[in-house]
């Protein structure tokens, strides 16, 4: 019975993750396709985060990662990603720019499917108290509904090909088809060392039991690309949450 309840809870978290990041989406539960309607988050107020819908719990995201307090991961921990460069669509959903995409992720020997990726500015997570200009979230879901989010920091440097295509497709407040291929792996660091902890979604309903894999190595984007994204969203980051005794593990490649 405990196993059944756990799986059901994981499926609910997955449904909220999909609905919280797009106007609507389709997910499979028990082999059947279910359309998940999003809640009214089209203009999520980041200046009034205390007023957000909040389920419950003390394992919230994002967090500050203190590199002096992380513990080495004992598991193998390897990550293998095979994300498609042919996106389904792209949407300015009122609180981020989201690209609906497909692909697979094998994380520590477990299989996940990519649902979408989106961006926050400035970064939601911090490392030793420091923000990055942008943070990308690649939202992956397992067959039983478990969510695994791969977070990637963007730092100022050379132009990024994949991010450039994302920016060129933005239509404010609209969902559009993506005709050009997106070099998704250009937005993932070649070295996939990461910090891992258990947390939550960072938008309402802030559901917990989300696995976070925060890449240690940032990816470069140009200053012009940062400025272009900031025209749409320059403060869509949730405030840092308390760790509340959780462990942060480190996997080194």
Phi-psi region of 242 (alpha: psi -120 to 50; beta: other; left: phi over 0): beta
Active site residue 95: yes
CA distances (Å), 239 to each of 33, 140, 180, 184, in order? 34, 23, 34, 27
Angle, alpha carbons 113-252-243 (nearest 5°): 75
Tokens of residue 247, six digits:
């462990």
C-alpha 253/C-alpha 251 separation (Å) is 7
53 vs 92: CA distance, rounded Å: 21
Q: Which of these is catalytic: 95, 125, 137, 251?
A: 95
Copy the structure tokens of residue 119: 């961006």
- Give the start-end residues of each E strand in 121-245: 126-127, 134-141, 147-156, 175-176, 194-200, 208-215, 219-221
Alpha-carbon dihedral of residues 26, 203, 100, 90, nearest 10 degrees? 120
Query: Which residues sit opposite 149 in a β-bridge?
Result: 139, 212
> How remote is the C-alpha of 102 from its chain's centroid?
14
Residues with catalytic annotation? 95
């Amino acid at each position: 019975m405990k196993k059944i309840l756990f799986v059901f809870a994981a499926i609910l978290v997955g449904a909220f993750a999909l609905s919280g990041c797009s106007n609507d989406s389709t997910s499979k539960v028990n082999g059947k396709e279910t359309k998940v309607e999003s809640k009214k988050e089209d203009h999520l107020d980041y200046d009034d985060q205390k007023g957000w819908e909040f389920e419950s719990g003390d394992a919230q995201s994002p967090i500050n990662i203190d590199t002096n307090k992380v513990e080495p991961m004992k598991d193998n921990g390897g990550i293998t990603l095979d994300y498609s460069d042919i996106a389904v669509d792209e949407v300015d959903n009122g609180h981020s720019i989201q690209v609906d995409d497909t692909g697979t992720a094998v994380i520590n020997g477990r299989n996940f499917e990519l649902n979408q990726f989106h961006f926050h500015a400035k970064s939601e997570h911090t490392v030793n108290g420091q923000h990055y200009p942008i943070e990308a979230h690649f939202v992956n879901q397992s067959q039983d509904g478990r969510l695994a989010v791969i977070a990637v920091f963007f730092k100022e440097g050379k132009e990024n090909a994949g991010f450039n295509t994302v920016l060129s497709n933005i239509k404010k407040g609209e969902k559009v088809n993506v005709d050009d291929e997106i070099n998704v792996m250009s937005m993932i660091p070649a070295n996939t060392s990461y910090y891992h902890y258990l947390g939550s979604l960072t938008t309402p309903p802030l559901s917990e039991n989300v696995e976070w894999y925060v890449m240690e190595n940032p990816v470069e984007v140009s200053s012009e690309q940062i400025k272009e994204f900031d025209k749409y969203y320059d403060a869509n980051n949730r405030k840092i949450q308390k760790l509340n005794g959780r462990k942060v593990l480190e996997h080194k490649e």
